[in-house]
């Protein structure tokens, strides 16, 4: 056959005898293969995890892409052992390992073993949590965990929610519900009939400038205008300034704009800052506004025995995002959206004759699809269930507390180190800082030097750190989520960063024309 002028080989049908194909199906006749295959896979991963000396090999896409392109997907190996051996080369050898104590970059946590056990069980049984008739007990377990989380937040007796694929989806669904509520209210308030497309351009969401970008993305997906998200300023700790919020609420009222939601962030991605939720909740209550709290990062405090008070005010939210796959040490994916009034979830409800006809809802058949933007949906809740049943919430909270303590120590270390400048003490577990070139004209190289140091460090594979911008300048960021990361690890990584950055600046000064060219 030819495709775009090239002759391509089409695999001939029926080369694999059906009997062989059936041997790969997981069922009562193949459980021995299942045991053997998974044990071999677990052994490979265990060997990698035990033998990983660096969080990353520093491989570049250019070097890895040919390995993956070279695999002929139309010539199966037939044997899981061979496929696993191949996987070493295309994936396991060069993966980024979050369990390593010098992985300090993004909000990826090391995971707890009970959750891995849950993952193995849930994929094998393969329940789908859209309807009761595809999940049975899975649905009830998810509901218990939603109730448990809502209770920890303090959302009251009418609370409900649903597991989602992640914080972005949770935020999206929260904004969907808030939009629908705002449209309903706008219609009800209007003396003349008013079309939805006339309401949408006037809807606004207010978040802080340190809030998560999924709020802006959600606004776009929800058909709101380009100016829909108003970002208000923060204090020096990067917490939303409530006076600025009050001013924006007032301005919107004067300009006949409808604030459909205020988003408070409990743990900003860069700074780990928690917006002043009680004051924000007061302002929302006074103005009758939907308060969404994005606790994707900060939700781990729900399990903390010493820092739960940092989330005070979250109980007054209309909706809350939690990411168990960040601060509850769960594997991706595990997240939930909680709402104070379960009835609000009706905005995600559609009845399909073949799946969840309305009569099922009348008979109170518990179909979670009625509350979700997904249909077929993983039983991610099982991971959290086994975590709570094996370890308990206190143990999870203790792990999170430990990384928050470590971030405080790391801040102190940086504050005393003249090579670096550190932005602010985080309420959670991030540290944003930058290497400072010597005072004088070399200061102009600060941005490039920090960018370079981050890349050079990742290329060496010694450690992985993140980067971000503060007031237009490049900074480096640690996100600490691994209780195994010691202060020595952090000190060592700081030395490496200073070395890379210093060498960069020295190379530039040795070649002044380069320095000038860089401006
Ligand atoms: C990570 C994060 C999100 C997005 O969550 P995903 O699970 O990555 O989709 C949303 N909000 C905040 C504050 C986050 O840190």
Best residue for ligand 1 mutational test, from 164, 167, 172 (most atoms within 8 Å of Cβ): 167
Q: Which fold has domain 154-345?
A: 3.40.640
Provide the H-helix boundaries in 391-445: 393-415
Q: How far, in Å, from the CA of 168 to the mean position of ligand 1?
A: 6
Mutation pick for ligand 1 pocket among 323, 337, 378, 426 (CB with most ligand atoms within 8 Å): 323
CA gap 347, 390 in Å, rounded: 36
- Ligand 1 surroundings by CB, under 6 angstroms: 107, 166-168, 171, 212, 214, 265, 267-269, 294, 296-297, 323, 335
**By alpha-carbon position, which residue is closest to atom 5 of ligand 1?**
167
Q: Strand ranges (DSSP E) for 255-398?
A: 258-265, 291-295, 319-323, 335-339
Task: Name beta bridge partners: 464.
Answer: 103
What are the tens digits of pLDDT across the range 441-500? 899 999 999 999 999 999 999 999 999 999 999 999 999 999 999 999 999 999 999 999
CATH of 19-97, one of 1.10.60, 3.30.160, 1.20.1650, 1.10.150: 1.20.1650
As a dihedral over the C-alpha atoms of residue 449, residue 454, residue 455, residue 457, rounded to 10 degrees, the angle is 110
Q: Where are the domains of the chain?
A: 19-97, 154-345, 394-517
**Which ligand 1 atom lies nearest to the CA of residue 325?**
7
SS3 string, 436-461, reads CCCCCHHHHHHHHHHHHHHHHHHHHC
Of 163, 214, 221, the one to substitute when testing ligand 1's pocket (max ligand atoms within 8 A of C-beta) is 214
Atom of ligand 1 nearest to the CA of 332: 7
Cα–Cα distances in angstroms (integers) from residue 225 to residues 208, 220, 315, in the given order = 18, 7, 30
Distance 2 CA to ligand 1 centre (A): 45
Specify the DSSP class assigned to residue 309.
Answer: G
Q: Do domains 154-345 and 394-517 have the same CATH topology?
A: no
Structure tokens at 169: 């989806």
| Rounded-to-integer distance, Cα 63 and Cα 292, Å | 44
What is the position in ligand 1's atom list of the atom closest to the CA of 297? 15
Per-residue pLDDT of the chain (519 residues; tens, 9 = 90+): 556 666 656 555 555 567 689 999 999 999 999 999 999 999 999 999 999 999 999 999 999 999 999 999 999 998 999 999 999 999 999 999 999 999 999 999 999 999 999 999 999 999 999 999 999 999 999 999 999 999 999 999 999 999 999 999 999 999 999 999 999 999 999 999 999 999 999 999 999 999 999 999 999 999 998 999 999 999 999 999 999 999 999 999 999 999 999 999 999 999 999 999 999 999 999 999 999 999 999 999 999 999 999 999 999 999 999 999 999 999 999 999 999 999 999 999 998 888 888 888 888 889 999 999 999 999 999 999 999 999 999 999 999 999 999 999 999 999 999 999 999 999 999 999 999 998 888 999 999 999 999 999 999 999 999 999 999 999 999 999 999 999 999 999 999 999 999 999 999 888 655 545 444
Alpha carbon nearest to ligand 1 atom 10, residue: 167
Nearest atom in ligand 1 to the alpha carbon of residue 269 is 15
394-517 maps to CATH 3.90.1150.10: yes
In this structure, what token pair is assigned to residue 507?
Answer: 């190379």
Residues facing residue 240 across a β-bridge = 234
């Amino acid at each position: 056959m030819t495709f775009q002028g090239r002759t391509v080989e089409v695999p001939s049908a029926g080369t694999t005898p059906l009997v062989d194909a059936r041997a790969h199906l997981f069922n009562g006749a193949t459980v021995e293969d299942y045991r053997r295959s998974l044990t071999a896979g677990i052994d490979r991963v265990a060997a990698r995890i035990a033998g990983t000396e660096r969080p990353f090999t520093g491989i570049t896409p250019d070097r890895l892409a040919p390995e993956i392109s070279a695999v002929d997907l139309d010539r199966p190996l037939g044997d899981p052992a061979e496929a696993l051996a191949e996987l070493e080369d295309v994936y396991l050898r060069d993966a980024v390992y979050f369990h390593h104590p010098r992985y300090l970059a993004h909000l990826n946590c090391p995971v707890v073993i009970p959750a891995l056990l849950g993952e193995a069980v849930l994929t094998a049984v393969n329940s789908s949590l859209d309807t009761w008739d595809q999940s049975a007990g899975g649905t009830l377990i998810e509901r218990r965990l939603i109730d448990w989380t809502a209770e920890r937040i303090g959302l009251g007796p009418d609370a409900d929610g649903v597991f989602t694929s992640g914080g972005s989806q949770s935020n999206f669904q929260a904004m969907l519900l808030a939009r629908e509520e705002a449209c309903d209210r706008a219609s009800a308030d209007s003396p003349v009939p008013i079309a939805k497309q006339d309401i949408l351009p006037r809807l606004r969401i207010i978040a802080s400038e340190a809030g998560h970008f999924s709020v802006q993305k959600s606004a776009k997906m929800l058909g709101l205008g380009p100016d829909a998200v108003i970002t208000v300023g923060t204090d020096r700790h990067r917490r939303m300034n409530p006076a600025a919020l009050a001013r924006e609420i007032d301005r919107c009222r004067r300009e006949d704009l409808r604030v459909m939601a205020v988003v408070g962030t409990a743990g900003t991605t860069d700074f780990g800052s928690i917006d002043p939720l009680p004051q924000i909740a007061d302002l929302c209550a006074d103005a009758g506004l939907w308060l969404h709290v994005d606790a994707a990062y900060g939700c781990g405090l729900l399990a903390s025995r010493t820092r739960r008070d940092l989330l005070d005010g979250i109980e007054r939210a209309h909706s809350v995002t939690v990411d168990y796959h960040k601060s509850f040490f769960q594997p991706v994916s595990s997240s939930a959206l909680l709402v104070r009034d379960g009835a609000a979830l009706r905005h995600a409800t559609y009845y399909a004759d073949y799946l969840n006809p309305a009569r099922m809802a009348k008979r109170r058949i518990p179909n979670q699809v009625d509350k979700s933007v997904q249909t077929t949906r993983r039983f991610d809740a099982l991971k959290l269930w086994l975590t709570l049943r094996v370890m308990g919430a206190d143990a999870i909270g203790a792990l999170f507390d430990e990384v928050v303590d470590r971030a405080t120590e790391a801040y102190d270390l940086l504050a005393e180190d003249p090579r670096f400048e550190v932005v602010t003490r985080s309420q959670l577990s991030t540290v944003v800082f930058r290497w400072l070139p010597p005072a004088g004209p070399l200061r102009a190289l600060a941005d490039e030097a920090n960018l370079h140091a981050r890349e050079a460090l990742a290329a060496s594979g010694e450690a992985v750190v993140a980067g971000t911008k503060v007031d237009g300048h490049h900074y480096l960021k640690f996100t600490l989520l691994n209780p195994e990361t010691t202060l020595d690890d952090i000190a060592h990584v700081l030395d490496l960063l200073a070395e890379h950055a210093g060498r960069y600046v020295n190379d530039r000064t040795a070649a002044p024309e380069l320095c000038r060219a860089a401006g």
